[in-house]
Amino acid sequence: MNHVALLFSSTLLVLSSAAHANSTPDQAPPSAAVRTYREHMFDEPIRTLANRSIALMFNTAPVRAGGKVAWLESKPVPMNFTYDFNGKTRAANDVIERTFTDSLLIIKNGVIVYEGYYNRSTPKTHFNSYSMAKSINAVMIGLALKEGIIKSVTDPVTRYIPELRGTGYDGTTIRDLMEMRSGIAWDENFFQPGTSGYDAHVASWVEERARYTDAALKVEREHKPGTFFRYNSMDAGVAGWVVERAAGIPVSRFLSERLWHPAGMESNAFYIIDGPAGLGREFTAGGFNAVLRDYGRLGLMMLNDGQIGRQRFFPAGFVADLSRGVTANAEDGLGYGWFWWTFPGSRAVTAIGGEGQYIFFDPDTQTVIVKMSHGPVGPDAAPIEAETHAFLKAASQWSGR
The per-residue pLDDT for 5 is 38
Return the pLDDT at 278: 67
pLDDT in tens, 15-27: 233 333 343 445 6
Q: Which pLDDT value is given to residue 27?
A: 66
Which residues have a Cβ under 8 Å from the Cβ of 296 and sit 6 or more positions away?
72, 105, 107, 112, 359, 368, 370
SS (H, E, C) 271-288: EEECCCCCCCCECCCCCE
pLDDT for res 276 = 66
How high is the pLDDT of residue 192? 73
All domains in the chain, ordered by first residue: 3-397 (3.40.710.10)
Beta sheet of 334-336, edge-to-edge order: 73-74, 111-117, 101-108, 367-373, 357-362, 349-353, 341-342, 334-336, 327-331
111 exposure class (CB count in 10 Å sphere: 0-12, 13-18, 19+): middle
Torsion of CA 71, 136, 291, 25, to 10 degrees: -130
Dihedral sign for Cα 389, 285, 8, 42, please. Answer: negative
Strands 111-117 and 73-74: parallel
pLDDT tens for 248-293 read: 999 999 999 999 999 999 999 999 998 765 678 999 999 999 999 9
How far apart CA 134 and CA 131 sit, in angstroms, is: 5
Q: Give the helix, strand, coil percentages of the chain, each rounded to 5.
A: 35, 20, 45
Of 311, 301, 315, 312, the closest CA to residue 363 belongs to 301
Q: What is the pLDDT of residue 4?
A: 37
Q: Of 151, 134, 109, which is closest to residue 365 (Cα–Cα)? A: 109
Cβ atoms of 173 and 154 closer than 8 Å: yes
pTM of the model: 0.92
Chain-centre distance for alpha carbon 4: 13
The CA–CA distances, whole Å, from 239 to 77, 173, 303, 313 equal 40, 10, 23, 18
CA gap 255, 247 in Å, rounded: 10
Strand 60-63 versus strand 269-272 pairing type = antiparallel
Residue 14 CA: distances (Å) to CA of 8, 205, 272: 11, 6, 5
At residue 203, the pLDDT reads 85
User: Mean pLDDT in runs of 10 for the chain (401 residues)?
Assistant: 38 33 58 90 87 91 94 97 98 98 98 97 97 98 98 98 98 98 90 80 85 94 97 97 98 98 97 79 95 98 93 95 92 95 96 97 98 91 97 98 94
Rounded CA gap, 58 and 362, in Å? 34
Let me know: does 213 contact 234? Beta carbons within 8 Å. yes
